[in-house]
């Protein structure tokens, strides 16, 4: 599964384009976000990618959010993982 890391300064249009490309190829992708700003940009990107993929009410994207634990610089951090399926 392809993993996209999203930061608070990530451009949601760019992330949406990358997400759409991964979904067209594999039909499943994982996005990682740490912090409120990154989660906000991730949700925007998922919404934009629906438009790019031509998704409608009959074939919506499936999004499964969850927590993830990781260590950055020796410090334990909690992030949000979004698994997106087409």
- Residue 52 corresponds to which tokens in the numbers above? 């790019």
The set of residues, in sequence order, having a beta carbon less than 8 Å from that of 80 and lying 6+ positions away, is: 32, 33, 34, 39, 42, 65, 66, 67, 68
Query: How many domains are there within the chain?
Result: 1
Is there a contact between 37 and 75 (Cβ–Cβ < 8 Å)? no
Chain mean position to CA 66: 12
The enclosing H or E element of 67 equals strand 62-72
Domain of residue 12, residue span: 2-85
Q: Give residue-wise pLDDT tens across range 9-54.
A: 999 999 999 999 999 999 999 999 999 999 999 999 999 998 888 8
**Rounded Cα distance, 43 and 20, in Å:** 14
CATH of the domain at 35: 3.30.110.20
Whether pLDDT at 56 is above 70:
no
Whether pLDDT at 72 is above 70:
yes
**Rounded Cα distance, 86 and 53, in Å:** 9
């Amino acid at each position: 599964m392809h993993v996209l890391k999203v930061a608070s300064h990530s451009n949601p249009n760019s992330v949406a384009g990358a997400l759409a490309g991964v979904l067209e190829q594999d039909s499943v992708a994982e996005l990682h976000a740490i912090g409120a700003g990154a989660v906000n940009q991730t949700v925007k990107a998922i919404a934009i990618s629906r438009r790019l993929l031509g998704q409608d009410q009959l074939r919506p994207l499936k999004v499964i959010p969850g927590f993830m634990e990781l260590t950055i610089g020796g410090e334990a951090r909690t992030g949000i993982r979004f698994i997106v399926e087409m």
